[in-house]
Structure 1
Amino acid sequence: MDGSLSHHDHDSHTSSDFGRRRGGWITFPFITGALAGLTLAAGGWLSNLIVYLIQEFNVKSIDAAQISNVVTGFSFLSPVIGAIIADSFFDSFSVISISSCISLLGIVLFVLTETFNTLKPQPCVKEPELCQPTSRLQHAILYTAIGLATIGVGGTRYTMATMGANQFENRKNQATFFNWFFFTLYTATVVSFTAIVYVEDNVSWRLGFGLCAIANLIGLVIFLCGARFYRFDKPQGSPFVGLARVVVASARKRNLQHSSGGSKDYYYGHGGVTDDLVGSATPSSTFRFFNRAAQKVEGDIKPDGSIGKPWRQCTVQQVEDFKTLIRILPVWSTTIFLGTPVAVQYSLTILQALTMDRRIGPHFNIPAGSILVIVFISTAISLTVIDRFLWPTWQKLTGQFPTFLQRIGLGHVLNILGMVVSALVESKRLKIAKTHHLQDQLGAIVPMLALWLFPQLILVGIGEAFHYPGQVALFYQEFPVSLRSTSTTMAALIIGISFYLGTGVINLIQKVTRWLPDNINNGKLENVYWMLVVVGVLNFGYYLVCASLYKYQNVEGADCNSGPDSEK
């Protein structure tokens, strides 16, 4: 995060609609201010969802963790839908505005469940057998609230990242924006995981959810206030249709001989340029099968130079865009099993915290839902240290900044170390539980400070500071221009898939082993973490192979784009 925020560059002086100058750093306070408000709102209910389900809706602990995993996973999958809509039909501004309103409706429903006692079951009396069942109406209100709030999160966070980056033309400014974007994201998350969760646990759920609603509303207002300054990118129709045409056209022309006549045998678009107004040489030699889609065939092109049969004729740019996605897919896939261990760790760490001594001093207990804030504090601090100290030192020693793939690789290593520490800490916790004969006491508190969970969370947080911004910047740089909104959601898609895989892993472990009973004091949770270590090591080996074979498509921005000297 460099000094670019303190001055305006040429990005601040681009002209746009109605002759007004739009874009540049003047938009930054509005976008990050809105991000902060919406993140406070989302973090306030999402981070404490497990505890809310257990305490307010009488859901069993493992079931609550599974529901939380599904909801969190969807909150990271839904941005892909929002990005596709933004790229294809509406602009990012419209998607963010509408999604913010949807999330506000969901949070208001949460407030209503705490305002009217008829909308939630009565608390359990002594034993679980005496719990009042949840009615259909209560379930309907609860899951409607969760669904609306989750959809709102999906349509705002990563679409906002793309919209913010689109305000700049300079790649280094875009990279600087991403650093500040994630710093704001993690800082706001820390506040929501601490202040709002504390209010929910120690004052009232209604007040906590009310603060979430207010934060959401403020974020929406800030975002709308910046409308006069934003640069708007008009959607060009679904880019995925063009990519699908490449596959269909290649298959239909599979018997066509590859051209040996150079660029004149390929179609570049109406007027000899691509749809993006960017000229291109002959198609690349990799994945040559798809080059047939751009070869000219009599009858496929109209006399005026436009495409007559769109499912038989594509432009060279469409073919190259499709190849770009194929090339980056292996690297993208490696990060799925980077995120899965973290997803499992998040939910299980909260369950561990519920069984540990969370006291800090004589009068304060750490809310179990706030324990994960250590990850975000670690990430926020690490982002600053990495950008201001580590990368400049790296540059002095090597002569260049680390590539995005190197950053992601460091994240892999730290993630594995985090899982190793998790296994060791859980092994110690279970030994103490057995020493005090707490295995058969559901809800028993193990005399071990929850502070023991901090080292594993710190390591995972530092790892995220390396691999998460690295993924977003890599995809934004390497993806086709027509898929810019979609590119920034690829990291979100990974996290969403990871949480669903994490849910599947926990279900499988429960069916096949006895490691995860409802009373984790009588289980073998450390075995789960050791299994994740093995998965992480194997996945890191796969990543090294994919990274070594990957060639940057945009060589100019490949070395990166961060650090205090990046603007010089």
Structure 2
Amino acid sequence: MQASVLREDNLSWGLGFGVPCICMILSLLLFLLGIPTYRYKIKRHEKKPFVRIGHAFVAAIRNWCATTPVVAIEEEVSETDCLHSPRCLSLFIADDIEEAKAAVRLIPIWTSSLVFAIAIAQCPTFFTVQGKTMDRTLVPGFKIPAASLQALTSITILVFIPIYDRIFVPIARTFTGEPTGITMLQRIGTGIFLSAICMLVAAVIETERLEIAKINGLVDEPNATVPKSMWWLVPQYMLLGAADVFTRVGLQEFFYDQISNELKSVGVALYLSVFGVGNFLSSILVSIVEKAIEGGSLSDNLNQGHLNYFYCLLVGVVVVGLGPFPIIAKSCFYGSSRNST
């Protein structure tokens, strides 16, 4: 990682991204070579998760169109009768529908969490560009690579997780009565709120950086170093790390908890897709903003790009996304744990 960062700063971004790409390809090949030695079990008579959910929606449509509900069960069926009874099919369809309903109930939380993913997408992009324009001298003759500043987020996560588990949770438990201190949804919402604070702090720091660049006559010099220490970026990196501890961990627990044991992979996929789609939406948002500004780019010349306005826009996006979050949490029923039922 460190070697990749140095190549990005001193040689080219293409080489910097190329080295990790080659490593990932080699890792994938190594993983594939190990397939003959893996232990796995083939369930021949069990439908795949997406097939089961698809059948549930088909059954729901048929049930809506039919005069007699397909999944109506008016009497109990014994296990011996169930194997050969058409009503047994109704039981299986009912189970599939319950699983489909559990997956659908996750969509509002999935959608609301996209604003968090959009916010944290700025860490490896604009945060790094900010750092590249600032004074990164650690000791005379050595500058910290701009991309290495992302380590501050990881360090914050490592430090904050034990604080959260050992200090925050016991204190919160005395007030809420929740075994986990706060619920998973409250944890997710807190992290989204912290991401808004992070963007606000980033906007304030960027405004100060732009003012210093203007005072020193560096507005038209995109490659010049603004005489402002990179350490001013530490608060926004740390806030992003704290937000990660709340929202990223909360989302992973939530999506894994609310899906039945047979569909755990779907829950994990939904969790990961939040950040994939969020990064994609972030790119779209940047493209829209760049087309709307005169310069045509936010990062070609950061001293003219008014990145602080973009951060303020992100604050608004996160706040708008967070607004309906409590309503969604109250209107959709989420059990404490599906595994215990």
TM-score, normalised by the number of residues in structure 2: 0.84
The answer to whether the 8 A contact 1:355-1:446 is kept is yes
Partner of 1:416: 196
- 123, 133, 136: which one aligns with 1:355: 133
Partner of 1:181: none
- Superposed, 1:289-304 pairs within 5 Å as 304=84
Q: Secondary structure at the match of 2:98?
A: helix
Q: 1: CA distance between counterparts of 2:119 and 2:65?
A: 46
- Superposed, 1:324-335 pairs within 5 Å as 324-335=102-113
- Superposed, 1:69-108 pairs within 5 Å as none
Q: Secondary structure at the match of 2:142?
A: coil
Partner of 2:333: 551
Q: Which runs of 5 or more residues in structure 2 are unaligned?
A: none
Q: Secondary structure at the match of 1:263?
A: coil
1:486 Cα deviation from its structure 2 partner: 2.4
Partner of 1:539: 321
Partner of 1:321: 99
Q: 1: CA distance between counterparts of 2:52 and 2:337?
A: 25
Q: 1: CA distance between counterparts of 2:167 and 2:333?
A: 28
Q: 2: CA distance between counterparts of 1:261 and 1:480?
A: 20
The answer to whether the 8 A contact 1:414-1:462 is kept is yes
1:463 Cα deviation from its structure 2 partner: 0.9
1:526-546: per-residue Cα shift (whole Å, max 9, x none)?
000000001111111121211
Partner of 2:8: 52
Describe the shift of the 1:266–1:430 C-alpha distance in structure 2 as closer, same or farther (beyond 3 A): farther
Q: 2: CA distance between counterparts of 1:322 and 1:505?
A: 32
Q: 1: CA distance between counterparts of 2:330 and 2:55?
A: 31
Partner of 2:159: 381
The answer to whether the 8 A contact 1:266-1:316 is kept is no
One-letter code aligned to 2:95: Q
1:56-106: per-residue Cα shift (whole Å, max 9, x none)?
2679xxxx9xxx8xxxxxxxxxxxxxxxxxxxxxxxxxxxxxxxxxxxxxx
Residue 305 (structure 2) pairs with residue 523 (structure 1)? yes
- Superposed, 1:163-182 pairs within 5 Å as none
Q: 1: CA distance between counterparts of 2:102 and 2:165?
A: 29
1:265 Cα deviation from its structure 2 partner: 6.7
Partner of 2:252: 472
Describe the shift of the 1:403–1:448 C-alpha distance in structure 2 as closer, same or farther (beyond 3 A): same
Describe the shift of the 1:266–1:482 C-alpha distance in structure 2 as closer, same or farther (beyond 3 A): farther
1:451 Cα deviation from its structure 2 partner: 0.6
Residue 78 (structure 2) pairs with residue 243 (structure 1)? no
Partner of 1:441: 221
Number of equivalences: 330
The answer to whether the 8 A contact 1:414-1:460 is kept is yes
- Superposed, 1:58-457 pairs within 5 Å as 110=18, 146=21, 234=42, 236-259=46-69, 263-264=73-74, 272=82, 304-305=84-85, 315-400=93-178, 401=180, 402-457=182-237
Q: 2: CA distance between counterparts of 1:503 and 1:474?
A: 27
Describe the shift of the 1:475–1:249 C-alpha distance in structure 2 as closer, same or farther (beyond 3 A): same
One-letter code aligned to 1:429: R
Residue 270 (structure 2) pairs with residue 460 (structure 1)? no
Q: 2: CA distance between counterparts of 1:258 and 1:500?
A: 44
**Amino-acid identity (%):** 26
Describe the shift of the 1:317–1:267 C-alpha distance in structure 2 as closer, same or farther (beyond 3 A): farther
The answer to whether the 8 A contact 1:246-1:314 is kept is no
TM-score, normalised by the number of residues in structure 1: 0.52
Describe the shift of the 1:475–1:556 C-alpha distance in structure 2 as closer, same or farther (beyond 3 A): closer
Q: 2: CA distance between counterparts of 1:267 and 1:342?
A: 52
The answer to whether the 8 A contact 2:255-2:270 is kept is yes
Q: 1: CA distance between counterparts of 2:70 and 2:50?
A: 29
One-letter code aligned to 1:250: A
The answer to whether the 8 A contact 2:71-2:94 is kept is no
The answer to whether the 8 A contact 2:260-2:339 is kept is no
Describe the shift of the 1:322–1:57 C-alpha distance in structure 2 as closer, same or farther (beyond 3 A): closer
Describe the shift of the 1:256–1:350 C-alpha distance in structure 2 as closer, same or farther (beyond 3 A): same
